Structure 1
Amino acid sequence: MTIAVIDYGSGNLRSAAKALERVAAERGVPQEIVVTADAEIVRRADRLVLPGVGAFGACSDALAALPGLREVLEQRVRKDGVPFLGICVGMQVMAGVGHEHGDFLGLDWVHGAVVPLAPADPDLVVPQMGWNTLAVGEAHPVLDGLDGQDVYFAHSYVMVPADPADVLATVDYGGAQTAAVGSGNWIGVQFHPEKSQAAGLRLLGNFVTWTP
């Protein structure tokens, strides 16, 4: 079994890969963790992880610049049902459009937009940097045990899905802000599991054993 951590020049890939290796070993699930930009390796992988940091447009463009990768993602995730995890901007590019320094098209797996984080409390700064408490809505296997847990955020933009049913978890940051989205075999989280200590490792462990 192989987990492909997709390398499109954005994100702390080694930290994510090391965390996945650790939880796979702890859960007794033999997995090969491969960091790759090769669409053919992604095509053969059993699970896919898309990390991301930086601006939506730069990440979306970098993803599109890798030969064949978007087509492979569509095939493997949307048609073949391979488990998929998007992290931070890797979650945001699942949206239809991002409005960060312009208008940029995403994968459109989640109908909706990525917009500036605008907390109602003027004392809250943007970006949100640091720990916040998850409120998990409807139960989801990847989020099992995460309700009420603190996880680590670093973002200035937030996804607003058109369908509220796509929102799996929120945090309170001057109002409810999207923290996790998902449907079927894919899930995305705005926070960084690899920086979220025990809670983040639990999420990654849930992912490597998830059978949608």
Structure 2
Amino acid sequence: MKLSIIDYGAGNIKSIQFAFQRLGIKAQLTNSPEELINSDKIIFPGVGEASSAMQKLQSTGLDQLIPNLKQPVLGICLGMQLMCHKTTEGNTNALGIFDVDVIKFSNSDLKVPQVGWNAIHSLKGDLFNGISEGEFMYLVHSYYVPKYVEAIALSNYGNDYTVALQHQNFYGVQFHPEKSGRAGEQLLENFIKLKV
């Protein structure tokens, strides 16, 4: 099985690569369209600011490639947000895979960014096989996806919001599975086992 992590200069991709290594799975780092098209599974990571990350995707043509991929693709953190229609961070048009906008936490009682462990619930689908309702995952973010019809997991920070999405072969998680202990490893294992 060929697993690729998209390397576009936005994110701590080594930690994701090491997480798969711990599972005995080799993941290559690449921004080559040919390598990505010929991969069995793809991780789309992201840490940082949305508009500069989108510019990096556009400069390499990956903004055109990613929405047309046919194999399972997992967006993580900013990667998930960039799979949405638009984000208010930098008023950025994103990839449009998920027809929902990303907005900033605005409740003045909340500390922003949200940093740390938070429980996830309303889990749906094979990505969450073996993961319990109320399991804790590690999150670091100031922007979020509201509750949405294609949500496959929710969390609560002031109000319920989406922490995982699925549309056809595309999956996204707001939390960092590579930093979320055994439950995060289980999710990565589940992603590897997905069939399209």
- Settle same-fold status: TM greater than 0.5: yes
Q: How many residues align?
A: 195
Q: Name stretches of at least 5 consecutive residues in structure 1 with no aligned partner.
A: 26-30
Cα root mean square deviation, aligned: 1.5
Q: State whether residues 163 and 174 of structure 2, in contact with CA within 8 Å, keep that contact through their aligned partners in structure 1.
A: yes
SS in 2 for 1:134: strand
- Identical aligned pairs, as a percentage? 34
1:151 counterpart letter in structure 2: M
Alignment of 1:87-98 (within 5 A): 87-98=76-87
Choose which of 46, 52, 66 in structure 2 pairs with 1:52.
Answer: 46
- Matching residue of 1:110: 98
Question: 1:143 Cα shift?
Answer: 1.5
**Partners of 2:72 and 2:82 in 1: CA distance:** 17
**Partners of 1:166 and 1:13 in 2: CA distance:** 26
- Matching residue of 1:99: 88
Choose which of 63, 72, 85 in structure 2 pairs with 1:83.
Answer: 72
SS in 2 for 1:42: helix
SS in 1 for 2:80: helix
**Partners of 2:191 and 2:59 in 1: CA distance:** 27
Q: State whether residues 5 and 30 of structure 2, in contact with CA within 8 Å, keep that contact through their aligned partners in structure 1.
A: yes
**Partners of 2:22 and 2:127 in 1: CA distance:** 17
1:33-80, CA deviations, whole angstroms, 9 ceiling, x for partnerless residues? Answer: 1101111111111111000011111111111111x323332332xxx3
Q: State whether residues 166 and 183 of structure 1, in contact with CA within 8 Å, keep that contact through their aligned partners in structure 2.
A: yes
**Partners of 2:26 and 2:2 in 1: CA distance:** 5
**Partners of 1:136 and 1:36 in 2: CA distance:** 34
Alignment of 1:9-88 (within 5 A): 9-23=9-23, 25=24, 32-66=26-60, 68-76=61-69, 80=70, 82-88=71-77
Question: 1:199 Cα shift?
Answer: 1.1
Question: 1:166 Cα shift?
Answer: 0.9
Question: 1:170 Cα shift?
Answer: 1.0
**Partners of 2:118 and 2:26 in 1: CA distance:** 31
SS in 2 for 1:165: coil
Q: Name stretches of at least 5 consecutive residues in structure 2 with no aligned partner.
A: none
2:114 counterpart letter in structure 1: Q
Q: State whether residues 3 and 27 of structure 2, in contact with CA within 8 Å, keep that contact through their aligned partners in structure 1.
A: yes
Question: 1:21 Cα shift?
Answer: 2.6
In the alignment, structure 1 residue 140 sits paired with structure 2 residue 125 = yes
Instruction: Normalising by structure 1, report the TM-score.
Output: 0.86
**Partners of 2:145 and 2:55 in 1: CA distance:** 18
- Matching residue of 1:28: none
Q: State whether residues 136 and 143 of structure 1, in contact with CA within 8 Å, keep that contact through their aligned partners in structure 2.
A: no
In the alignment, structure 1 residue 199 sits paired with structure 2 residue 187 = no
Question: 1:85 Cα shift?
Answer: 0.1
**Partners of 1:52 and 1:74 in 2: CA distance:** 16
Q: State whether residues 20 and 26 of structure 2, in contact with CA within 8 Å, keep that contact through their aligned partners in structure 1.
A: no
